[in-house]
Structure 1
Amino acid sequence: MNTSIGIKNENLAKVAEILVETLADEFVLYTKTKKAHWNIEGQDFYNKHLFFEAQYQQLDGIIDTIAERIRTLGHYAPATLREYLALTHLSEHHLESNDSLTYIKALLSDHESILIHLRENIENFAVEFRDAGTSDFITGLLETHEKMAWMLRSHLK
């Protein structure tokens, strides 16, 4: 069944394609944040364990809203690790240490990468694809990642 919401089908497909990549990025970042939560070591273990937990819980909510946005546009959300790894802009990497600074730097880099990707697409959603709803949605997501990145960056000062 066609999604008839005032956006051309080809534009819906292009928007969904970008959102699918964003979903993959978010899922990979979620997994990396969960790893930090599980494996953090050091004198600041307890505080960082709780900090990473709060961040992965926030990412879990983001993942759900992106998948639901994709479905709202009439497309299907990927949901396998293989698909996510094929679609993501992020990379899996082995960290040399399980201390908080190592995790924070790696996660901050990923948030910043997602921020750049989101910022590159906001105007495309609104202007090129005529989808103000997704543009607004991505703006909110951008603001959430900016705050999460700020929280991570603040630990480095």
Structure 2
Amino acid sequence: MSETGESHQRRLTRNVNELLQELRVAQAGVQILFGFLLSIAFTDKYASISGHVRVTHLVTVLCAAAAVAFLTAPAAWHRVLFRQGRREEVVRTGNAFALVGLAFLALAMTGTVLLVVEVILPTWAAIVVGALALVVFSGLWFVAPLSTKGAEHRERP
């Protein structure tokens, strides 16, 4: 039993459920983004875009595909390992997959912002806006949580 009176198995079950619930939010968004990115290649305008925009689009599509793979992997692991007593492994691996998936999603979102801004503004401005998008995503999703975690540990006796 933990300090809260929760058994190890109950805690693992809760952790799996929380992980899968959190991933549902990210999965929906990344799947919509992936579909949007795929549809771009089938537009009339795509035939006339420059080579570097095509490369940006391809890299962005690949990042979105990687995000889909990593963000859906925990659900697949849970289903495959269901009732085998391996919840701890599902939680540990699922957490790692979720973090990698979020990193790829941040890159895909950054690439999407870059693509859209390249259509509207000069390339140098698009790069600046894309870099700002990367800073915002990585800052909110990784840097801020890690910095607050460090602050918590410093305050504990």
TM class by shorter chain equals: 0.3 to 0.5
Q: TM-score, normalised by structure 1?
A: 0.46
Q: TM-score, normalised by structure 2?
A: 0.46
User: Which structure carries more relative contact order (alpha carbon 8 Å, separation 6+)?
Assistant: 1
Report the structure, 1 or 2, having the larger helix content: 2
**Rg comparison, structure with higher value:** 2
